[in-house]
Structure 1
Amino acid sequence: MTEPPAESLLFDVVPLPTPVERLLHLADQYIQHNDALDLLLLTTDPPAHAASAQRLATDTRSAIKAIHGERLYKSVELAETVMRLKQLAFLSGASADLSAAAARELTALAPEAAVSSAVTLAAEPPRRHRATAPAPDDHLNAVQRTALAQIACGHVVASSSLGREFTRSREPKVLMSTLRALEAKGLAERTARSARAAYIGGPPLDRVRLTSAGITALASAIEAMPNTGLKTRPRPRPSTTQATTRSR
């Protein structure tokens, strides 16, 4: 059998994720972990979160290693980003030995912290990972890019009532029309009944998550415009019920 030319094999190599993409994927992993803990708290089954917590700690340390591999300038912002990620790794590992309720508190802000770290990292020179990052999707407007960031932080869920669909999100609100547009582009998807209910005794909500293409699109937008002002910084949860946005 004739072996294919060595040059042809180059086109089959899948590029490694950039550090920014790694952090956005890590945020999604924390979202899934936290959602699983929320649902676990409603059952009487024994805690089963230890393996997930340890895996998150390992993946967070891998993300830190990838950042070091970029050999970026040692700025204060970069040092704080690495420190924040080290704290996430420690908290994730420590949560494996705690009850589900206590473990949930330790990783509550992890998705926002991972996304915030991605935004900070993208602004650090030199950004060698930009050379391999895909070009930003020119068909995404500012509202859609902000929605992607909100989804990445774990701020968006969906539900339906009386035949109508709704989104629940923090400010800036993510409208159902925006979510549908992102779904049509293959950038977002819903995981049915995977997020905690909006009220005690209510049905689980559908978690809105980024697809692999959505992570790539958001990473590309962040790396191309690191100072876009995307609202990704962690902030205290409001005491009132999250706002509900009707579909438009």
Structure 2
Amino acid sequence: MTQPPADALLFDMPPPPTPVERLLHLAGEYTQHNDALDLLLRATNPPQPEAHTACAQDLATATTAAIKAIQGERLYESEELTEAVVRLRQLAFLANASVELSAGAARELTALGPEAAIASAVMLAGEFRRRRGATAPTPDARLGAVHRAALAEIACGHVVASSSLGREFTRSREPKVLMSTLRVLETKGLTERATGSAPAAYIGGPNLDRVRLTPTGVTALASVLGLPAAGSSSAPAATPRPLPTAAQAAARNR
């Protein structure tokens, strides 16, 4: 079989993720980490002390890499950009600090990781559009206001799915993400379900399916972040809840 020329393969390589896309992916990694900790904490046998350490270290490394990617864009300083970077530095510190704690205390430190990463992504996307409007990504025409809001909630780790008696349903925060909306997003290849990866809604119940963005979904959401609000919100608020401190989590664990 004839192999294509090496230089031809270069054109088939996808472009590297933008800093905004990197943050959306990072939020998904924090959600997966938190879900894994929740399942460990609900397991019959107590979790091993080091069960979460490798993943926590990876999160700290990935968060630091996201900060460097933002700094590599060489944007002029602004309050919004500074806040986004500082929040990510706090997040990297908390992920690294969680390595030394028990699984329960570690879970508290990374609890708001997805929201913090998305909030920074929203701020950064707004800065890119304000300063580099001519080169900003073109909004995905497939996404209406409801779809944008749903993707944002999914990116924050707020949406799970399950079924009972042959009927599928979703669980989410406000704004609610309906099953009909989720099916549309899945048909477009923007989201997927990780079977049994999220903790049950009640003790003894079945694990739920975490809804996640696909790589295509990450690109689609990144294309609409930072747009002026019109009608329904298309992105999570840029000011998330305060992150916990390592001392607070350690105190609760005593």
TM-score normalised per structure 1: 0.87
Of all paired residues, the percent bearing the same amino acid is 67
Query: What letter matches 2:42 in structure 1?
Result: L
Using the alignment, how far apart are the partners of 1:203 and 1:176 within structure 2? 19
**Is 1:86 matched with 2:89?**
yes
CA gap of 1:194–1:129, structure 2 versus 1, over 3 A, is farther
Matches within 5 A, 1:36-51: 36-43=36-43, 44=45, 45-47=47-49, 48-51=51-54
Contact 2:94 2:109 in 1 (8 A): yes
**Is 1:61 matched with 2:75?**
no
Matched with 1:26 is: 26
**Is 1:191 matched with 2:194?**
yes
Using the alignment, how far apart are the partners of 2:206 and 2:68 within structure 1? 40
Using the alignment, how far apart are the partners of 1:3 and 1:179 within structure 2? 40
Root mean square deviation of aligned Cα: 2.3
Matches within 5 A, 1:125-164: 125=128, 131=135, 133=137, 135-164=138-167
Contact 1:70 1:129 in 2 (8 A): no
User: Cα distance, 1:11 vs. partner?
Assistant: 2.1
CA gap of 1:5–1:103, structure 2 versus 1, over 3 A, is closer
User: Cα distance, 1:199 vs. partner?
Assistant: 1.3
Matched with 1:239 is: none
User: Cα distance, 1:51 vs. partner?
Assistant: 0.3
**Is 1:230 matched with 2:254?**
no
Contact 2:191 2:214 in 1 (8 A): yes
User: Cα distance, 1:230 vs. partner?
Assistant: 3.2
Secondary structure in 2 matching 1:12: coil
TM-score normalised per structure 2: 0.85
Matched with 2:250 is: none
**Is 1:123 matched with 2:130?**
no
Once the two structures are overlaid, the 10-residue window that deviates more, 148-157 or 44-53, is 44-53
Using the alignment, how far apart are the partners of 2:3 and 2:42 within structure 1? 59
User: Cα distance, 1:5 vs. partner?
Assistant: 8.7
Which of the numbers 179, 183, 194 marks the counterpart of 1:180? Answer: 183
Matches within 5 A, 1:195-234: 195-222=198-225, 225=227, 227=229, 229-233=233-237, 234=240
User: Cα distance, 1:137 vs. partner?
Assistant: 2.0
Gaps of 5+ in 2: 243-254
Contact 1:189 1:208 in 2 (8 A): yes
Secondary structure in 2 matching 1:209: strand
User: Cα distance, 1:122 vs. partner?
Assistant: 0.8
CA deviations 1:42-87 (Å, max 9, x no partner) are 1224141100000000000000000001111200111111000000
CA deviations 1:7-33 (Å, max 9, x no partner) are x45523421100000000000000000
Gaps of 5+ in 1: 237-248
CA gap of 1:87–1:163, structure 2 versus 1, over 3 A, is same
Contact 2:225 2:235 in 1 (8 A): no
Contact 1:27 1:153 in 2 (8 A): yes
Secondary structure in 2 matching 1:82: helix
User: Cα distance, 1:136 vs. partner?
Assistant: 2.6
Contact 2:146 2:234 in 1 (8 A): no
Alignment length, in residue pairs?
A: 233
User: Cα distance, 1:2 vs. partner?
Assistant: 11
Secondary structure in 2 matching 1:171: coil
Using the alignment, how far apart are the partners of 2:159 and 2:102 within structure 1? 26
CA gap of 1:86–1:118, structure 2 versus 1, over 3 A, is same
Using the alignment, how far apart are the partners of 1:24 and 1:191 within structure 2? 17
